[in-house]
Amino acid sequence: MQTLDRSIDDAIADPKTYGDQGRQHELFTQLRAEDPVHWTEPQGYRPFWLVTKHADIIEVEKQQDLFINAPRSKLFSIEFEQEIKQLMQGRPHLVKGLPQMDGLEHKTYRQLTQAWFQPKQVRQLEERIATLAKRSVDDLLARGPELDFYNDVASWFPLRVIMLILGLPASDEERLLRITQAYFGGSDPEVQRGSDLIRATQDYIAYFDGISEERRRNPTDDVASLIANSQIDGKPIGHYEAYSYYIALASAGHDTTSATAAGGLLALMQHPEEWARLKANPALVPAAIDEMVRWVSPVKHFFRTATQDYTLRGKQIRAGDHLLMAYPSANRDEEMFDSPFSFRIDRNPNRHLGFGYGAHACLGMFLAKTELQYLFRELIARVDSFELAGQPAWVQTSFVGGLKRLPVRVRAA
């Protein structure tokens, strides 16, 4: 039964909602209280069930045969979905990465690179990640005392880490940063820079085609060489699958982590007692990073599609219905978290869904946590205090993102 005003449906699909943190959480709090599995019909979009409770997202995501990924993965307007189908000659996705796959296909493709993202392999890269973190804080202190923490620091560091894993040359940094920001910022007029998602995808393809060709001729020990030279069912990986893999890694590994770094620092500035506690006790850094991911929830959603009729919290889901998993909402769920609107760096337990759940749970989770830990250890050791030097601004996106501007004044330790 529909209990809420229709304007909520439009607000959920509107990227502007996510550019206003207060509004976003006000909406989700109302939905969790009044209609936690809400049939949503935004104008110009195909309808879906909006799943806002922590327990319900887990119930859906753990049943990967009943709720699949491939038919619909992100919230796009009907007009844009049609444009993609036309451009892709009937295929529903511009990019078919792990989040657009199911079953054996998903397992096979995930296993291709999985070892690179497991703790053992990430630990081997720790020294180089630590050097990149140190370099970020060197840059910050050299640029200070006033700078934009998001644009000058947070957006570069995770990009450099993912380039390290992929094995991409440092000289390509600026080009990749521009493409990634256009890829995620498509609905925000300030970060759009005249491109759109299709243009950004084409730019990515042109870039990674060159890398693939080079790595087939001269393979090296990195993830780009692994993808370029991989075999699926005894045949070389296809062009669509290869560029999709590169794009999924480059894009997923970057904006999510920079959004957490900037949003995490803002939270520490807004809670100076937590900054002081962290400085006094660096052993709290790992727990603080988890709290930052919960607090920021940079991934706003992924979809699942039901393969059978199913009852979820009393709502009758039909086979073929789509369900939007609202991670920021799950991460403020009053039934899961004690004082969910308090930022506590030592929150324990902290079973947030910032990295998703189940078979599709974030492949780069350990890498993301490791790099954020190095960055914040470096910050608390070398910075005495941060204060806001202007108004922070959030990117308008219904998919992935966080701050797009964080002006700060830094006092070195």
Residues that bind ligand HEM (CB under 6 A): 61, 98-99, 110, 162, 248-249, 252-253, 256-257, 260, 293, 298-299, 302, 327, 354-358, 360-364, 367-368
Q: H-type helices in 37-90, by residue range?
A: 54-61, 78-87
DSSP code at position 348:
S
What amino acid is encoded at 231 in this protein? Q
| Cα diameter, the chain | 60
In 3-state terms, what secondary structure has residue 318? coil
Return the structure tokens found at 250: 């480059």
User: Torsion over CA of 223, 227, 233 and 235, rounded to 10 degrees?
Assistant: -140
How far apart (Å, rounded) are the C-alpha atoms in residues 49 and 31? Answer: 12
DSSP code at position 299:
B
DSSP code at position 261:
H
- What is the smallest separation between the CB atom of 229 and ligand HEM, expressed in angstroms? 19
Return the structure tokens found at 349: 């337990």
- The answer to whether 402 and 263 have CB atoms below 8 angstroms apart is yes
User: Is the CB of 256 or the CB of 397 nearer to ligand HEM?
Assistant: 256
- What is the smallest separation between the CB atom of 249 and ligand HEM, expressed in angstroms? 4
The position carrying tokens 């560091």 is: 157
- What is the smallest separation between the CB atom of 194 and ligand HEM, expressed in angstroms? 27
User: Is the CB of 37 or the CB of 154 nearer to ligand HEM?
Assistant: 154
User: Is the CB of 3 or the CB of 285 nearer to ligand HEM?
Assistant: 285
- What is the smallest separation between the CB atom of 409 and ligand HEM, expressed in angstroms? 26
- The answer to whether 379 and 134 have CB atoms below 8 angstroms apart is no
- The answer to whether 93 and 84 have CB atoms below 8 angstroms apart is yes
User: Is the CB of 269 or the CB of 362 nearer to ligand HEM?
Assistant: 362
- What is the smallest separation between the CB atom of 336 and ligand HEM, expressed in angstroms? 16
- The answer to whether 28 and 326 have CB atoms below 8 angstroms apart is yes
User: Is the CB of 10 or the CB of 172 nearer to ligand HEM?
Assistant: 172
- What is the smallest separation between the CB atom of 202 and ligand HEM, expressed in angstroms? 21
- What is the smallest separation between the CB atom of 298 and ligand HEM, expressed in angstroms? 5
User: Is the CB of 186 or the CB of 364 nearer to ligand HEM?
Assistant: 364
How far apart (Å, rounded) are the C-alpha atoms in residues 57 and 198? Answer: 30
